[in-house]
Amino acid sequence: MSKKDIVVVGGGGAGAMFVKEILRKFDRARYTLTLVNARPCYIYLPTTVRMAVTDHGNLEDVVLMPFDRLLGDAGTLVLGTVVAIEKQTPGQGGDVVLRDGTRLHYDALVLAPGTRLENPLDYPDSREDIQKYIGDWRQKIKDAEHIVFSGGGPTSVEIAGEIREYFPDKHTTIVQSRSLPFNNIYRDNFRRRILKESQAFGIEFVLNDYLDETVPKDGHVTTRKGQALRADLVITSHGGHPNTEFIQSLGADVLSKYGFVRTNPTLELPDHPGVFCIGDVIDNPERNRLGKYVKHVNVAVPNVLARLNGKEPKKKYTGSIETIAISIGSERGVSYIGILWGICLGSWITSIFQSRHLAIQGGRWVMGYGWTTG
């Protein structure tokens, strides 16, 4: 009997967790596993907010992780960018096509391409270029006295917190379109705590306003409402863009208006048996968090195996409670559990679980390095 091929596109937060879990479950005599990733390493995003700002601790040595320990000798890494998916008869698998023309056959396909972020987290593909990019952005931040953020979401708050921690003399201002930081998926009590803790750490806010300018002129930027702000550097953080262009090759109705992937509760794409999606690019109202992707993986793994055994996928993703832990420098932060009135936890607990190490242990554990910070 010929082996069935499982192909995973994207070795980031969700893809790596999927690979780890399916390799624990699958029979090597029956299946092959191929991970396709554009970069030669996994980038553990929660810790990048510090890595972007400082060379203290050389965080790139722990944040960028090769795939060898994750895959061992049970899976294969193919380095490259997928540009199209070509299906055969429904349920019969197909090929993923890479930019260099390589074709990889799949019987089951798992899509986890994540989001393209903005500077200073818009990493290039080669290890060498990533290293240079990190160095260049650290220098830009070091050279700027006044740094203005466009967008008041978690990434802006966390990067601003790191800048205040490592460069307490620099001025950081966040311009946010709403009356409080973050999106209104989080309750106001939490958003007020974020505002208060950030301000107490010296981060300034301009609320109910927008910043469209990305390059300062004469040391200033001007908001939509006409407020001039001192600025040597603008960091834009509007949530990124899903890396899903290549998935359109499955048909126009596969993606939502904003480029997210429509799935059934089984995380399989409607009308595309054997093609599953996990991670940031799923079309649902939830915020992107790795904790949820443990649940995605726990649904996708049995469903992929069911499909490969000629059965209907049964396991369903029923949603997750919104939880988030936000660092504001290494000793401050606020955590949120979206139950009841919205439970908030302060700096003492958040610094232990998030701010000090930015959860790097979790990322390293997934990649086979044990529960360590370095």
List residues near ligand FAD by CB under 6 A: 9-15, 36-39, 45-46, 48-49, 81-82, 112-115, 117, 121, 155, 243, 246, 279-280, 288-291, 359
160 vs 234 by CB, closer to ligand FAD: 160
Q: How remote is the C-alpha of 309 from its chain's centroid?
A: 31
Q: Give the shortest CB-68-to-ligand FAD separation in angstroms.
A: 15
| CA 110 to each of CA 22, 85, 186, 231, 243: distance values in angstroms, whole numbers, following the listed order | 11, 12, 30, 43, 14
122 vs 271 by CB, closer to ligand FAD: 122
Cβ atoms of residues 297 and 17 within 8 Å: yes
Q: Give the shortest CB-57-to-ligand FAD separation in angstroms.
A: 17
63 vs 229 by CB, closer to ligand FAD: 63
What distance in Å separates the CA atoms of residue 144 and residue 147, rounded to the nearest whole number?
Answer: 6
Q: Sign of torsion, CA 11 15 16 18?
A: negative
Beta-bridged to residue 150, according to DSSP, are: 175, 236
Q: Give the shortest CB-46-to-ligand FAD separation in angstroms.
A: 3
Q: Give the shortest CB-337-to-ligand FAD separation in angstroms.
A: 13
Buried-exposed string 201-212: b where 16+ CB fall within 10 A, e elsewhere: bbbebbeebebe
Q: Give the shortest CB-335-to-ligand FAD separation in angstroms.
A: 10
The residue number whose beta carbon is nearest to ligand FAD equals 12
Q: Give the shortest CB-39-to-ligand FAD separation in angstroms.
A: 5
Q: Give the shortest CB-244-to-ligand FAD separation in angstroms.
A: 8
What distance in Å separates the CA atoms of residue 115 and residue 263, rounded to the nearest whole number?
Answer: 17
Q: Give the shortest CB-30-to-ligand FAD separation in angstroms.
A: 25
Q: Give the shortest CB-187-to-ligand FAD separation in angstroms.
A: 19
223 vs 332 by CB, closer to ligand FAD: 332
Look at residue 275 and give its three-state secondary structure: strand
Cβ-Cβ contacts under 8 Å for 135 (sequence gap 6 or more): none
Parallel/antiparallel/unpaired status of strands 333-337 and 323-327: antiparallel
In 3D, which of 172, 200, 138, 188 has the Cα closest to residue 331? 200
- Degrees (nearest 5) of the Cα angle 95, 97, 101? 130
Q: How remote is the C-alpha of 138 from its chain's centroid?
A: 21
Cβ atoms of residues 362 and 50 within 8 Å: no
Neighbours of 68 (CB within 10 A): 11
123 vs 216 by CB, closer to ligand FAD: 123
